[in-house]
Structures are given as C-alpha cells and as structure tokens.
Amino acid sequence: MDTPAVELRGLARYFGERTALRDVSLVLPAGASVAVLGRNGAGKSTLLRILAALLRPHAGEVRVFGEPLPRRAFAVRARLGLLAHEPLLYSELTGRENLRYHAALHRVAERRVDEVLEAVAMERRADDPVRLLSRGMVQRLAVCRAVLHDPPLLLLDEARANLDPAASALVEPLIGRPAGRTRVLTSHDPRAALAEADLVLALRDGRVAFAGAPEGLHDDALRELYA
C-alpha cells in the first residue's frame, strides 16, 4: 500500500485554555486534494501550521509522507510549499532577490526563478522592492516562493486572496489541480474549494464536523457550518 501524503490521528492543539484542534483525523493519499472548511477560528490555519512543522501538536499523531512530525520535521520541510496569510517575503528586497534567496536555501538552480516569475507574469516588476508592489503582485510572488522548489505537497491558506480573475488564472497551473500535487487548501469561498477537492475536512470549533467526499457535504450542512 502506498504511503499517504498526510496522516492525522487524534490531533489536538491548545492555546492556553482555548481548544484550537481536538481529535482531528485524516488520511490524504498522495496526489489528492483536501479542502479544509470552517468559519474563522475553526482551526484551519492552525492545522496548516502544524503540517508545515511551525506548530507542535499537543496530542495525537501527525505524519507527512510517512515522517512523524515534529520529530522528523527536517525531512519534510523541503518537500512542502506553504502559502500562508503572510507572504513570507522580505519587504525591503526585490521579488527576484527574495526568490534567489529561497532558491539558494533549497539548492534550486537560478533559472527556476526566471521560470516561475514568467509563469505569473511578474518579470517586469521582479526588480522592484516588495514593499512597493500591490497586494495582488505580492501574492503572485508568494505563489512563486511556495512552488519554487517543486514540492510534492502544497499547504494553501486562502491561496487566491488578493488575486483578480486574470491573476488567478496565471497561478492555476502552479497551485491548482493541473499542478498534480497533493494539496491541503482553505478558501473564503467554500463552494470553490469543494469544486477542486477530492476530500473535505470540515471543522467547527476545532472539532471535525464532516470528513469525506465533497458530494457528501450537502447544502444544509454547509450553511450550518458557516452559520
């Protein structure tokens, strides 16, 4: 049997007395996409940060490509790309300088920087400091950073935030289904997320409200999830 890309067993995470996640379980096959749904504060971003080895779970088991987290985080980080609410770019550096820095960290050939910049139509503004760019341009650069090292797993937290339809179309081959990567994604548009997911993990107050195929989450249940 192939090793799942992501395995969660009874995952729990707390912030003081507040429960962020409790008893969350999931098995995500390699190459599949799971949409993580729920209101603000449901635990979506916390889950992605745990998978990115940026937060430690307080209970349960977390494995990414068979590697236990956080103990084997060093073996996982190079195999994932994180697109978070913050772009994770240095504002005083240019877009190209940011990407060259990340290329050096991942031992990626510098020509890859030019490839991803061209893919998102950022070549002409790549030498401007990030602080001078629009939010949409910064988001396009953040997409470049997340996929620069060609990771097999993408963690996408509101990946298309600040992108107009034209820019969304540009990044689709990099972070959408055409990329062929395993994806854990959240979206402010749950119906759009359902349309590009193989599995759904719906969270309410840190607990699993629904887990299964998208067609199993009916309209009434979806409305209740966001009520």
Identify whether 153 is part of a domain: yes
Identify whether 223 is part of a domain: no
- In sign, the C-alpha dihedral spanning 10, 11, 17, 19 is negative
Identify whether 67 is part of a domain: yes
**pTM, two decimal places:** 0.94
First to last CA, the chain: 40
Q: How many domains does the chain have?
A: 1
- Reported as a single tens digit per residue, the pLDDT across 196-221 is 999 999 999 999 999 999 999 988 98
Q: Judge whether residue 76 has pLDDT over 90.
A: yes
SS3 44: helix
- Return d(Cα 13, Cα 56) in angstroms, integer: 8
Q: Judge whether residue 1 has pLDDT over 80.
A: no
* Distinct helix (H) and strand (E) counts, the chain: 7, 10
- Reported as a single tens digit per residue, the pLDDT across 171-181 is 999 999 989 99
Q: Judge whether residue 227 has pLDDT over 90.
A: no
Identify whether 221 is part of a domain: no
